[in-house]
Structures are given as C-alpha cells and as structure tokens.
C-alpha cells in the first residue's frame, strides 16, 4: 500500500463483487508524499481508482507524526450508498485535514470539507427517516463537526477543549467518544 496503513481496511459488496477501500500514511517515504484513498477489487487485487492528496509528517522530538489517511474510510448507506468518505490528515504545514466524499463507481470527488486540524478519528454516519446521511467527526484540537453527508455542508461545529484521538460510536440517539486524559463524552442527537 506504498506506506504504513494505520486505518482499518473496509470491505464493501456491490452486486455480487467485493471491493476494499484502503488508505495509506505519509510515514516511511519522507516528510511529505502523496497519500491515497484507493478502491481495490478484492478478488483480483486490481486498483479500480484512487484519490490523492499531498500530506506532511511533523517532527515531534526524535520521531515524526505521520500525515495521510489515519482514519478508517466510511461507506455511505441508504441515500448515500454511492459514496465513500475518507479524511486526509496534514494536507498542509498548518496540520489541517480534508474530508473527501468520493463516488464509489467513478472515483470522482463529490465534495470536500476542510477541518481545522488533522484527525485520527474515523467519521461516523447516522440517518434520518428519509434516508439522508449525516456525518459526525472530530479533530485533534477538540472540535466536533456535524455535516450533511450528501453535500458536505456544515450543520454544527463546536470546539470542546479536549484532544480527540479515538473514533466515536453511535448507540441509539447518542454519540459516544473518548478523549485524551480520561474523558468520555456523550452527545445526544436531536432532530428537529
């Protein structure tokens, strides 16, 4: 996969075929390199498409914190079953991240959303009664975001004041996420 793979590989079934969605870091290849979100045929190993961003590592003491795809990609469901979503971390030297929604069939980018900081945490999806997708995601500077998953428009953003490094989960109408330093936060999903 050209470099380290920290994010989990996602398996998706389209009709009777299986595909993998996988991303790589910018780690072993130097201070900056191209990170890829890739779709691979699970049977043949053939790459179907890839989406790229130049990402950067960042020196911390004697080590380098990696950039690239650090969070597991998300495959949409219901009205967004044609999308796969990935987060590229450290897309510039200010440590920003970019969420990218990609058409699963064509590999064309549908929309992007810039985060205030990079993210190790995977986004999670939830849906209204009509099948519309919403995304909850976090960054390491303690910001939570809720996006319209169909078009990437920001619905809600708040800086909480913690460091998010773990991925959230959704249980019924609650989003639960751990934060660095012994905190576990719970957010209630309210539909209006």
Instruction: Express each pLDDT in 133-151 by its tens digit.
Output: 999 999 999 999 999 999 9
Task: Give the pLDDT mean for 77-93.
Answer: 93
Distance in angstroms between the alpha carbons of the first and the last residue of the chain: 43
Query: How high is the pLDDT of residue 167?
Result: 93
The predicted-structure confidence for 151-168, as pLDDT tens digits, reads as follows 999 999 999 989 998 899
Cα separation, 179 vs 100, in Å, equals: 24
Decide which of 139 and 26 is more confident: 139
Distance, in Å, from the CA atom of 139 to the CA atom of 89, rounded to the nearest integer, reads 10
Please determine, for residue 60, whether its predicted confidence score (pLDDT) is greater than 80. Answer: no
Higher confidence at residue 99 or residue 189?
99
What pLDDT is stored for residue 192 in this prediction? Answer: 64
Does the pLDDT value for residue 32 go beyond 90? no
- Residue 39's pLDDT is 97
Give 2's pLDDT tier (boundaries 50, 70, 90): confident
Query: Would you state the structure tokens that stand for residue 89, as one six-digit string?
Result: 């971390």
Supply the mean pLDDT for the chain: 91
Of 135, 125, 173, 175, the residue nearest 156 (C-alpha): 135
Q: What b/e readout covers 64-73, taking b as 16+ CB neighbours within 10 angstroms?
A: bbbbbbbbbb
Q: How does DSSP classify residue 90?
A: -
Of 81 and 25, the structure prediction assigns the larger pLDDT to 81
Torsion of CA 48, 54, 60, 66, to 10 degrees: 0
- Confidence bin at 31 (pLDDT 50/70/90): confident
Q: What is the pLDDT of residue 153?
A: 98
User: Is 3's pLDDT higher than 80?
Assistant: no
* pLDDT the model gives residue 4: 72
What pLDDT was estimated at residue 7? 85
């Amino acid at each position: 996969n050209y470099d380290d793979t920290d994010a989990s590989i996602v398996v998706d079934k389209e009709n009777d075929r299986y595909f993998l969605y996988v991303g790589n870091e910018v780690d072993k290849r130097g201070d900056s390199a191209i990170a890829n979100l890739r779709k691979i045929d699970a049977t043949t190993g053939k790459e179907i498409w890839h989406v790229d961003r130049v990402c950067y590592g960042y020196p911390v003491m004697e080590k380098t914190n990696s950039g690239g795809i650090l969070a597991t990609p998300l495959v949409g469901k219901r009205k967004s079953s044609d999308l796969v979503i990935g987060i590229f971390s450290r897309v510039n030297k200010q440590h920003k991240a970019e969420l990218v929604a990609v058409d699963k069939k064509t590999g064309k980018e549908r929309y992007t959303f810039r985060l205030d900081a990079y993210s190790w945490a995977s986004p999670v999806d939830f849906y209204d009664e009509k099948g519309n997708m919403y995304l909850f995601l976090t960054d390491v500077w303690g910001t939570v975001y809720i996006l319209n998953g169909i078009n990437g428009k920001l619905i809600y953003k708040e800086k909480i004041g913690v460091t998010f490094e773990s991925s959230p989960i959704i249980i019924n109408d609650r989003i639960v996420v751990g934060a660095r330093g012994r905190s576990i936060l719970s957010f209630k999903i309210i539909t209006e």
